[in-house]
């Protein structure tokens, strides 16, 4: 900014306000916190836009009143009801605009909610998968340990000729290990099936939620949705 | 993107003809731009007023737009800014407007709508200009809009001779391959002519008027079937509907195919490097598929990357393809997963570990960051810019 900041002839626009940059303060002396300055500028920008819009509405109002005076209508005749077709139209535009903004907000809320829901589902899936992995590692490790112990026992027992009793004992040990393995296998299967049921249940809930949400399409995302495999649609008039 | 649409164009002399008629002298570009800047300072109020004005005058037009108009208002302002700031570089502007005109066919825009839009645009500009609105400005804007409208309508008319406004697509199968990726097969009606690597906009019945671009994952087939890889984006309206609500029999709409990530004819005498991140695989798989139909395809090395092993949703199909064609090598890459037995690390690291690619043509697709990093890395190792091919999203993605 080389000229005066507020000059009636060449007013600064809200956009110019945002692009103002300040010189860096002298060494050894700390300037304002940049973020705070930016925050302030944004606040001023918003205020400025509002003032501009108010001014336009007021100008429209002045025009309306001027026309009314020229046409000789007594003041206050159209009590609260906009007089004339043009005013009626602007009034309708404002009503529709307000309705549209409300609809936009509803859609944005629904979208934010659905986004949060998917994020949580993703996290829960990761937790479930990790837990399942940990559990299966544990079971495998234990089975492995038992098998190793059994092998060592068998090996140690091998050189000495086996008595009938020893053979019986070894068979019993083998049977025990088999049963043990079966039990663990069943255990692991039940656990895995439980997890799968949990996932199916959760998918069912998800699709029910989807159907409920069916009637209310969500807003276009500001970002491309297809993740590099496409772009956001060029929809514009 | 507009520039890549094949064949159709309005004669470039269009704008010049108007100038010769002497109307150019009256059109004060600086005044127009100043007025637009003043109006645009009113922010979101401007497009809000414009659409409300349009819908009150022509309620039937409302049906062409989605429920939420938030993104729509942004698109309108962006397009207007682009038009007004380029108003004196006619060639660029014409290409942009022609693309816009063709693109609007799938929304159901007709020539009559252009007049309605023009009237509402004028009303909006007048409303926000307040006391600075003059008959001269009105004449300038009217002339400018006539020009814009006629280029768009002209391009749309020329396009009508070549293709329908949109294609009906029937979902033939839906496979959920992982937590967030689904593979759809869609039968278009009538047949859809496209180049391997291109994409189409898809609209599905539960999200009316919301279109999202997806690449075909196969080269054109005799039976016309299209394969799409859909990734669920958290909170993504269309991707969520496509991954969770479509089943065999669902009917969707498809827009005209676009995109420049295609093999150039004639094929250069170089081998190919394909680098795909996640569902960026789709266009590159289509390119590989196209090569299977050639008598002497070049050697192709395809890197397919995901964050974790379960993100390699299409590896089976790729490995089958590699087993059938000795010129194709597929290397799966996972960012970080201690259980994964293959290559781990970021795609661009793994690709550069695999040697010198400077003699190859590279095609990259996937998340923006991954594509940019890989392109930069390849360029740094001596690959010429014209050997690196990525999708140009042009004005449709900002």
B139 & B199 share domain? no
**Could you tell me which of B94, B88, B97 has the C-alpha nearest to residue B30?**
B88
* Per-residue pLDDT, A25: 66
Distances (CA, A) of A93 to A237, B46, B311: 18, 12, 49
* Per-residue pLDDT, A176: 81
Q: Do A214 and B245 touch (CB under 8 A)?
A: yes
Cβ-contact B357, B351 below 8 angstroms:
yes
Return the CATH number at B354: 3.40.50.80
B319 & B388 share domain? yes
Give the closest-approach CA distance of A37 to chain B in angstroms: 21
For the cut 50, the answer to whether the pLDDT of residue B257 exceeds it is yes
Q: Do B48 and A122 touch (CB under 8 A)?
A: no
The average pLDDT across B61-68 equals 91
Q: Residue B356 corresponds to which tokens in the numbers above?
A: 């010198």
CB contacts, 8 Å: A225 with chain B: 212, 233, 236-239
In what helix (H) or strand (E) does residue B49 lie, and over which residues does it extend?
helix B45-57
B122 & B177 share domain? no
B43 & B59 share domain? yes
Overall size of chain A counted in residues: 237
Cβ-contact B218, B160 below 8 angstroms:
no
| Euclidean distance between CA atoms B238 and B161, whole angstroms | 30
The residue in chain A having the minimum alpha-carbon distance to the alpha carbon of residue B367 is A228
CB contacts, 8 Å: B72 with chain A: 220, 235-236
The residues, any chain, with a CB within 8 Å of residue A60's CB and separated by 6 or more, are: A90, B127, B130
In tens, the pLDDT along B332-357 reads: 999 988 888 899 999 999 999 998 89
B46 & B74 share domain? yes
Indicate the number of domains in chain B: 3
CB contacts, 8 Å: B99 with chain A: 234
Of A56, A103, A235, the CB nearest to B211: A235
| Euclidean distance between CA atoms B73 and B47, whole angstroms | 5
Q: Do A227 and B278 touch (CB under 8 A)?
A: yes
In what helix (H) or strand (E) does residue B201 lie, and over which residues does it extend?
strand B199-203
The residue in chain A having the minimum alpha-carbon distance to the alpha carbon of residue B130 is A56
Q: Assess if residue B201 is contained within a domain.
A: yes
| Euclidean distance between CA atoms A82 and A166, whole angstroms | 108
B12 & B106 share domain? yes
Q: Assess if residue B263 is contained within a domain.
A: no
Q: Which domain, by its residues, includes B376?
A: 272-396
| Euclidean distance between CA atoms B92 and B151, whole angstroms | 12
**Could you tell me which of B307, B289, B375, B383 has the C-alpha nearest to residue B345?**
B307
Q: Do A112 and B235 touch (CB under 8 A)?
A: yes
Cβ-contact B140, B32 below 8 angstroms:
yes
Q: Do A228 and B99 touch (CB under 8 A)?
A: no
Q: Assess if residue B260 is contained within a domain.
A: no
Burial of B183 (0-12, 13-18, 19+ CB in 10 A): buried
Q: Do A93 and B49 touch (CB under 8 A)?
A: yes
In tens, the pLDDT along A48-86 reads: 888 888 888 888 888 778 877 777 665 544 444 445 677
Domain-terminating residue out of B254, B281, B303: B254
CB pairs under 8 A between A and B: 215
In tens, the pLDDT along B165-201 reads: 999 999 999 999 988 899 999 999 999 999 999 999 9
pLDDT classification of B49: cutoffs 50, 70, 90? very high
DSSP line for B239-290: HHHHHHT--TT-EEEE---B-S-SPPSSPPSS-EEEEEEGGGHHHHHHHHHH
The residue in chain B having the minimum alpha-carbon distance to the alpha carbon of residue A88 is B56
* Per-residue pLDDT, A41: 81
CB contacts, 8 Å: B396 with chain A: 231-234
Give the closest-approach CA distance of B345 to chain A in angstroms: 20
In tens, the pLDDT along A204-236 reads: 776 666 555 544 333 333 333 444 444 433 333
CB contacts, 8 Å: B98 with chain A: none
Q: Residue B48 corresponds to which tokens in the numbers above?
A: 């809000």
Cβ-contact B258, B1 below 8 angstroms:
yes
Domain residue limits, chain A: 10-21+33-74, 121-218
* Per-residue pLDDT, B18: 44
Q: Do A214 and B367 touch (CB under 8 A)?
A: no
B173 & B148 share domain? no
- In percent, the amount of chain B with pLDDT more than 70 equals 92
Give the closest-approach CA distance of A171 to chain B in angstroms: 37
Q: Do A230 and B51 touch (CB under 8 A)?
A: no
Q: Assess if residue B261 is contained within a domain.
A: no
Sheet containing strand B167-176, strands side by side: B212-215, B199-203, B251-254, B167-176, B181-189, B226-231
The residue in chain B having the minimum alpha-carbon distance to the alpha carbon of residue A53 is B42
- In percent, the amount of chain A with pLDDT more than 70 equals 70
* Per-residue pLDDT, B26: 56
| Euclidean distance between CA atoms B18 and B38, whole angstroms | 27
Q: Assess if residue B259 is contained within a domain.
A: no
B171 & B138 share domain? no
Return the CATH number at B87: 1.10.490.10
What ipTM goes with this model? 0.77
Q: Assess if residue B129 is contained within a domain.
A: yes
Return the CATH number at B241: 2.40.30.10
CB contacts, 8 Å: B107 with chain A: 235
The residue in chain B having the minimum alpha-carbon distance to the alpha carbon of residue A103 is B68
Of B70, B103, B230, the CB nearest to A234: B103
The residues, any chain, with a CB within 8 Å of residue A199's CB and separated by 6 or more, are: A125, A128
Q: Do B100 and A236 touch (CB under 8 A)?
A: yes
The average pLDDT across B366-393 equals 90
**Could you tell me which of B29, B12, B155, B148 has the C-alpha nearest to residue B91?**
B12
B283 & B247 share domain? no
Give the closest-approach CA distance of B394 to chain A in angstroms: 9
Distances (CA, A) of A213 to A117, A169, B6: 13, 65, 39
| Euclidean distance between CA atoms B20 and B25, whole angstroms | 9
B242 & B308 share domain? no
In tens, the pLDDT along B6-35 reads: 333 333 434 434 443 444 445 788 899 999
Domain-terminating residue out of B199, B226, B254: B254
CB contacts, 8 Å: B233 with chain A: 221, 225-227
CB contacts, 8 Å: A11 with chain B: none
B143 & B80 share domain? yes
B71 & B48 share domain? yes
The average pLDDT across A24-50 equals 76
| Whether this model's pTM surpasses 0.80 | no
């Amino acid at each position: 900014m080389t000229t005066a900041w507020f000059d009636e002839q060449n007013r600064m626009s809200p956009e110019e306000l945002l692009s103002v940059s300040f010189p860096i303060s002298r060494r050894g002396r700390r300037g304002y916190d940049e973020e705070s300055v930016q925050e302030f500028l944004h606040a001023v920008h918003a205020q400025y836009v509002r003032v501009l819009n108010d001014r336009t509405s007021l100008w429209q109002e002045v025009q309306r009143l001027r026309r009314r005076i020229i046409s000789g209508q007594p003041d206050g005749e159209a009590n609260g009801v906009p007089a004339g077709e043009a005013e009626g139209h602007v009034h309708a535009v404002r009503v529709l605009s307000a309705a549209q903004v409300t609809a936009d907000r509803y859609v944005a809320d629904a979208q934010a909610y659905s986004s949060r829901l998917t994020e949580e589902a993703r996290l829960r899936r990761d937790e479930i998968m990790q837990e399942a992995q940990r559990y299966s590692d544990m079971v495998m490790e234990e089975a492995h340990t038992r098998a190793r112990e059994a092998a060592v026992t068998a090996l140690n027992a091998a050189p000495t000729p086996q008595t009938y009793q020893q053979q019986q004992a070894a068979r019993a040990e083998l049977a025990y290990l088999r049963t043990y393995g079966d039990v663990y296998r069943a255990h692991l299967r039940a656990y895995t099936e439980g997890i799968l049921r949990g996932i199916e249940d959760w998918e069912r809930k998800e699709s029910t939620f989807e159907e409920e949400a069916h009637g209310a399409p969500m807003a276009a995302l500001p970002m491309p949705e297809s993740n590099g495999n496409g772009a956001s649609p060029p929809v514009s008039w | 993107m507009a520039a890549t649409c094949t064949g159709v164009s309005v004669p470039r002399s269009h704008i010049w003809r108007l100038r010769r008629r002497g109307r150019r002298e009256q059109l004060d570009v600086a005044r127009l731009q100043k007025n637009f800047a003043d109006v645009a300072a009113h922010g979101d109020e401007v497009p809000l007023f414009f659409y409300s004005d349009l819908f009150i005058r022509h309620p039937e037009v409302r049906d062409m737009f989605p429920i939420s108009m938030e993104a729509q208002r942004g698109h309108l302002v962006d397009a207007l800014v682009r038009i007004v700031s380029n108003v004196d570089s006619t060639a660029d502007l014409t290409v942009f407007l022609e693309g816009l005109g063709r693109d609007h066919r799938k929304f159901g825009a007709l020539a009559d709508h252009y007049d309605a839009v023009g009237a509402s645009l004028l009303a909006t500009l007048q409303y926000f200009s307040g006391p600075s609105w003059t008959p001269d400005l009105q004449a300038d804007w009217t002339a400018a809009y006539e020009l814009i409208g006629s280029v768009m309508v002209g391009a749309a008319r020329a396009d009508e001779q070549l293709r329908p406004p949109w294609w009906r697509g029937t979902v033939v199968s839906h496979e959920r391959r992982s937590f967030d990726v689904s593979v759809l097969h869609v039968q278009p009606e009538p047949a859809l002519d496209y180049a391997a690597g291109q994409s189409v906009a898809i609209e599905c019945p539960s999200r009316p008027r919301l279109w999202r671009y997806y690449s075909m994952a196969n080269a054109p087939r005799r039976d016309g079937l299209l394969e799409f890889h859909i990734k669920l984006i958290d909170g993504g309206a269309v991707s969520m509907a496509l991954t969770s609500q479509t089943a065999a029999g669902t009917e969707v709409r498809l827009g005209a195919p676009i995109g420049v990530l295609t093999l150039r004819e004639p094929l250069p005498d170089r081998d190919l490097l394909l680098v795909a991140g996640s569902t960026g695989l789709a266009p590159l798989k289509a390119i590989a598929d196209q090569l299977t139909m050639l008598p002497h395809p070049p050697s192709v090395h395809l890197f397919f990357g995901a964050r974790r092993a379960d993100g390699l949703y299409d590896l089976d199909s790729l490995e089958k393809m590699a087993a059938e064609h000795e010129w194709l090598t597929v290397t799966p890459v996972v960012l970080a997963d201690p259980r994964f037995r293959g290559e781990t690390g970021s795609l661009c690291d793994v690709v550069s570990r695999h040697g010198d690619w400077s003699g190859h043509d590279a095609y990259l697709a996937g998340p923006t960051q991954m594509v940019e990093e890989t392109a930069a890395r390849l360029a740094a190792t001596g690959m010429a810019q014209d050997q690196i091919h990525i999708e140009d999203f042009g004005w449709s993605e900002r």
